[in-house]
Amino acid sequence: MTRKFILLCCLGAALTGLASCKGGSNTPGEVIGYAPVYQSDSTMANIRSDAPQPIVRGGKIYVRDKTMYQVEEGSGIHIIDITRPENPARTAFIHVSGAQELSIKGDLLYTNNYNDLVVLNISNPQSVREVQRMKDMFHITGGNVPPEKGYFECINPDRGSVIGWQKKTLYSPKCKY
């Protein structure tokens, strides 16, 4: 409800040229916030295995056999060995921009790279390979505002459609909700 109202506000402001949703004189200097990720962003498809990473924004969970998986919201998937549940061991991290979801069948892991459905071969977690990509299959990520309230980098419509939001350091962001 609030979100709709603010969107309407922004729309109204844009139409009248008042830009009331822009911070004006009281925008912050350097702040952690969200920036839009555009369809044309070339870094989005760079899926790869890495050493285990810290869990910062732990997301959805999944388990098969003695391995559990936790999404790192918007950036990838943690692979954790729970053979000894009293002493779990982090095995690897898969970088997948925009990731929110995962499911597994056989050696194949299905996840979302923003709104692309991607199929990863996880037979070797240390060197996961993308084996299939189906572009723009659904609309899980994106939207006109970031997933959390606060300052964000304004959308530049010239850069195309927004497929997701990425947390990073922003300098004097002018949009807020």
Partner 1 sequence: MKYFYQYLVLAAIALACCTSCSKNDNSSSGSDTGTGGSLARFTITMDHLYVVDGKNLYTFDLATGYAPVKVNTTSIGFNIETIYTWKDKLFIGSRDAMYVYSIANPGEPSLLGTASHARACDPVVATDTVAYVTVRTGTTCGGNTNALYVYDLHNVVQPLLKNTVNLNNPHGLGLQDNILYVCDGNSGLKVYNLKEAYAPVLSRTITGETFYDCIPYGDVLICMIEGGTALYDISDITHIRLLSKITG
| Smaller CB separation from partner 1, 149 or 172 | 149
Shortest approach of partner 1 to residue 46 CB, angstroms?
Answer: 20
Shortest approach of partner 1 to residue 32 CB, angstroms?
Answer: 17
CA separation for the pair 130, 45 (Å, rounded): 9
- Strands (DSSP E) found in the chain: 30-38, 48-50, 58-64, 67-72, 76-81, 89-95, 102-105, 108-113, 116-121, 129-134, 151-152, 162-171, 175-176
Shortest approach of partner 1 to residue 131 CB, angstroms?
Answer: 5
| Smaller CB separation from partner 1, 38 or 62 | 62
CA separation for the pair 148, 164 (Å, rounded): 12
Helix (H, G, I), strand (E, B) or coil at 114: coil
| Smaller CB separation from partner 1, 19 or 45 | 45
Q: Residues near 176 by Cβ (< 8 Å), separated by ≥ 6?
A: 21, 23, 150, 151, 152
| Smaller CB separation from partner 1, 21 or 145 | 145
Binding site for partner 1 (CB under 8 A): 1-3, 54-55, 58-65, 68, 70, 78, 80, 82, 85-88, 90, 100-108, 110-112, 117, 119, 131-132, 134, 137-140, 149
Shortest approach of partner 1 to residue 1 CB, angstroms?
Answer: 6
